[in-house]
Structure 1
């Protein structure tokens, strides 16, 4: 459906979830070279893709990582800046400064560094997508640092879009709601729900989705990756500085 033949594309958070699905979709769409970044070195190394890759394991909030990538990477035609963490849910009154800063470090400092590198290396006409979240659009209790960081990511995409006008660079954000990824695994309330379903993870996820989403289901990582592909492709050629909210109606 989308043609990325000959393109060099940066993907952060590339070793799992939406990032991995997007990397695979880009490779299948003809991307010539993928620059893959993730904290999980073993998963990153294990990715089998039908195109050239360069793989960089490290924390996206580490400036030294990005200095090395800038020296080695070469020009970029597209970037999917997806790395992020959710943190532990807690109301502001019970949240530590360390918990706040841990989320901000990855979701804002890491996004700044990756976006700076992408803008520096971008060819004229390059396209970029930043992963935000519906939590950056709709306020919910106990989501303080995550929601604030994702609202910040949305605004960073808008500012980068304005800065990119002169060179034809387009920057958009995608704001998923619930997605079936490993982000839920290990979260106490979800683990309890899986136990209630006698180990049936899919059943637990379906119950949670029915309670949280008007459409009654969560997205798959592959569905979100397809939407990212649209935003990175020529099919969205007049869209920039926008946020695609893809949440099954949760924010209505």
Structure 2
């Protein structure tokens, strides 16, 4: 449906690569006018390829978040109707081995940045608009080595649902998309050792019982486009009666939840 988001003015964060880039492309293909943001200057090249505009911003800086949201309507030529927040960072390891710097970075980029974005959005997004935030299924299902990351994502999910309740009287829909293992640089950055990418992928799909990790029933890794299609759906009128929802896009990996 190429016109699914026609007339929408959208801000997409984390748009330089991975899921964010796929969301930006899906929004443009669906007819939205899009402002891309990322801390990585490569976002400007992505915007050029898509015929969109871009702003480089560090979402760990709360003032930068406020400025980004405030400037979005001017860049887009009208009220901001749609936000897709995909930016995030990953640190792996046990809680015992977690450094203060690792924790502070996770909280700053994953949780505090989301809070700052949502806070600014409540004053800027148009009535009847949408806010969709990409979290993670690790926020609901504990994983060895992902405890700190999962904690920040659990907080993200709670924040979005709370803001959705606060904005419901204005018709603003706030939803969460929680991907599982998705073939992005973030996931591949977790793959160490001598195994090939295909072998790593097969191990993720099969699961690791000794780490209490379920496999993926659909027998495939998600692609960024799978997540982007879900975010596009939630931003569209096809999802007009869906809010406060946490939609898992993980091939059934959190079947126990």
Instruction: Describe the SS at the equivalent of 1:173.
Output: strand
Task: Confirm or deny that 1:180 pairs with 2:187.
Answer: no
Structure 1: tracts of 5 or more residues without a match: none
- Distance in structure 2 (CA, Å) of the matches to 1:205 and 1:144: 21
Instruction: Describe the SS at the equivalent of 2:126.
Output: strand
Q: 1:70 to 1:91 in 2, by over 3 A?
A: closer
Q: Say whether the 8 Å CA contact 2:69–2:117 is kept in structure 1.
A: no
Q: Say whether the 8 Å CA contact 2:36–2:52 is kept in structure 1.
A: no
Task: Confirm or deny that 1:91 pairs with 2:94.
Answer: yes
Q: Say whether the 8 Å CA contact 1:130–1:174 is kept in structure 2.
A: yes
Q: Say whether the 8 Å CA contact 1:139–1:147 is kept in structure 2.
A: yes
The CA RMSD measured in Å over matched residues stands at 1.6
Q: Say whether the 8 Å CA contact 2:62–2:116 is kept in structure 1.
A: yes
Aligned ranges 1:157-176 → 2 under 5 Å = 157-176=160-179
Q: Say whether the 8 Å CA contact 2:58–2:65 is kept in structure 1.
A: no
Match of 2:204 among 205, 208, 215: 208
TM-score when scaled to structure 2?
0.88
Q: 1:90 to 1:50 in 2, by over 3 A?
A: closer
**Number of aligned residue pairs:** 241
- Distance in structure 1 (CA, Å) of the matches to 2:143 and 2:199: 25
Structure 2: tracts of 5 or more residues without a match: 74-78, 208-214
Aligned ranges 1:3-42 → 2 under 5 Å = 3-32=4-33, 34-41=34-41
Q: 1:207 to 1:140 in 2, by over 3 A?
A: closer
Q: Say whether the 8 Å CA contact 1:81–1:115 is kept in structure 2.
A: no
- Distance in structure 2 (CA, Å) of the matches to 1:151 and 1:170: 19
Match of 1:78 among 75, 79, 82: 82
Displacement, 1:216? 1.6
- Distance in structure 2 (CA, Å) of the matches to 1:52 and 1:24: 9
Tell me the residue number matched to 2:127: 124
- Distance in structure 2 (CA, Å) of the matches to 1:160 and 1:51: 31
Displacement, 1:85? 0.8
- Distance in structure 2 (CA, Å) of the matches to 1:112 and 1:135: 19
Q: 1:45 to 1:51 in 2, by over 3 A?
A: closer
Q: Say whether the 8 Å CA contact 1:31–1:51 is kept in structure 2.
A: no
Displacement, 1:37? 1.1
Higher strand share: 1
- Per-residue displacement from partner, 1:172-210 (whole Å, max 9, x unpaired)? 0011101011112333xx132xx333xxx3453244323
Higher mean displacement: 241-250 or 110-119 = 110-119
